[in-house]
Amino acid sequence: MKKVLITGASGFIGSFLVEEGLKQGFQVYAGIRKSSSRAYLQDPGIVFIEFDFSTREKVLETLAQCKAENIRFQYIVHNAGLTKAQKKEDFYNVNCRNTIHFIEALIQADMVPEKFIFVSSLAAFGPGNPDTGEPVRHTHEPKPIELYGKSKLEAERYITSLKDFPWLIVRPTGVYGPKEKDYFVFFQTINRGMEPYIGFRKQTLTFIYVRDLVRLIFIAMTSSFIHKAWFVSDGKEYPSEQFAEITKRALGKKTIRFTVPLFLVKTIATVGERVAGLWGNIPTLNKDKYNVLKSTNWRCEVEPLEQDFGFKAEYDLEKGVQEALDWYKKEKWL
């Protein structure tokens, strides 16, 4: 049985990665923290390993225990990451420094797997050109517009500098599905009869349903590719109104539509950041978030997924939103 270690296993995408690994007959090791919830990791076949990535030495201690128990991972999906942070430095520490500690420790402990797949983000490259509407491509110069994307890009730069390390990188666009908490806020808002928009310019969004993403990650991981990165979306483009339309239809709701002007969002973000900054914190609506909200082109290239793997998403937004909403209702989130 091949062994796969999935870090960030307790989170939204991580728990689906674990499920997919078990479904495909891998021995699945769930990399979690002491404090992590195991609520979505109930399968008795899962083996838990507690990692602390904050120093290379701490990772080495855990790897030494693995070695002592004769555990060698053929595959590692490094999915642990921060998408929201209270302090600015947390993004860099978790998304970049921890990744470096992890890889350095794997090399030092002589536990380099056959394949190490890093879950980055489209945010590492930032949005596409708003004027041409061209999708973000791997040949483009990365231009992340917020600290999250910058920290993912820094990690990518370290990883791609490694010539003898078997890395792969996936850069998903917005991921949605059961258990997810950010798009859920939008679903909740629509469910309450409100349909908010930010700014008057049309936005083009892209998405990937979580089950398609984890399927793709396993395809890439077990492929013969090394030293390659892919953007991941379902291959379609959605005007922001269409996201709302699909959600309204699935929920059977009528809504009141309103637009918050960009200047107002910017003012709230700037003032909020100054005030919270006095304590070294980042408010939920901050200047980075404003930059993301005002970006209009979130297209990314997906042709390489089809060329390299013949990959086609099984879920478009309509099908994925319906399945996600069914789950939220079943679990009484909605």
Ligand X SMILES: NC(=O)c1ccc[n+]([C@@H]2O[C@H](COP(=O)([O-])OP(=O)(O)OC[C@H]3O[C@@H](n4cnc5c(N)ncnc54)[C@H](OP(=O)(O)O)[C@@H]3O)[C@@H](O)[C@H]2O)c1
At its nearest, how many Å lie between ligand X and the CB of residue 267?
27
The enclosing H or E element of 184 equals helix 182-191
182, 260, 229: which is closest to 13 by C-alpha? 182
Between residues 58 and 248, which has the closer beta carbon with respect to ligand X? 58
Site string for ligand X, 84-103 (x = CB under 6 A): ----------x---x-----
Whichever of 205 and 255 has its CB closer to ligand X, that residue is: 205
Select the residue interacting with ligand X from 126, 172, 199, 235 (CB under 6 A).
172
Residue 50, strand partner residues: 32
Of residues 33 and 72, the one with the C-beta less far from ligand X: 33
Mark 47-86 with x for binding to ligand X (rule: CB under 6 A) and - for no binding: ------x-------------------------xxxxx---
We find the least distance from the C-beta atom of residue 10 to ligand X, in angstroms, to be 4
Comparison of 144 and 255: residue with beta carbon closer to ligand X:
144
Contacts of 78 (CB under 8 A, 6+ apart): 7, 8, 99, 102, 116, 117, 118, 119
Exactly one of 12, 209, 218, 328 binds ligand X (CB under 6 A); that residue is: 12
Residue 190 CA to residue 245 CA, distance in Å, equals: 10
Taking the least distance from each CB to ligand X, the nearer of 12 and 26 is: 12
Closest CA to 295 of 139, 125, 158: 125
Q: Given the structure tokens 């930059």, which residue do they identify?
A: 291
Beta strand pairing call for 167-172 and 174-176: unpaired
Rule CB under 6 A: is residue 117 a binding residue for ligand X?
A: no
List CB contacts of 75: < 8 A, sequence separation 6 or more. 2, 3, 4, 5, 26, 113, 114, 115, 116, 117, 221, 222
Give the CA-trace dihedral at 11, 6, 115, 125, to 10 degrees.
10
CA distance 82 to 88: 11
- What is the gyration radius of the CA atoms in the chain, in angstroms? 20
Q: Smallest gap, in angstroms, from Cβ of residue 91 to ligand X? A: 10
Per the listing, tokens 């859920």 go with 184
Query: Of 265, 20, 40, 298, whose CA–CA distance to 175 is shortest?
Result: 298
Nearer to ligand X, 101 or 115 (CB): 101
Q: Whose Cβ is closer to ligand X: residue 13's or residue 325's?
A: 13
**d(C-alpha 279, C-alpha 191), whole Å:** 35
Q: Which of 130, 174, 196, 304 binds ligand X (CB under 6 A)?
A: 174
DSSP SS3 for 79: coil
Taking residues 131 to 170 in sequence order and writing x for each that binds ligand X by CB under 6 A, - otherwise, the string is ----------------------------------------
Sole binder of ligand X in the list 5, 18, 21, 36 (CB under 6 A): 36
Of 88 and 253, the one with the shorter C-beta distance to ligand X is 88
Positions 225 through 264 that interact with ligand X (CB under 6 A): none
Of the candidate residues 5, 13, 63, 190, the single one contacting ligand X (CB under 6 A): 13
d(CA 99, CA 120): 11
Binding site for ligand X (CB under 6 A): 8, 10-14, 33, 35-37, 53, 79-83, 94, 98, 119, 121, 172, 174-175
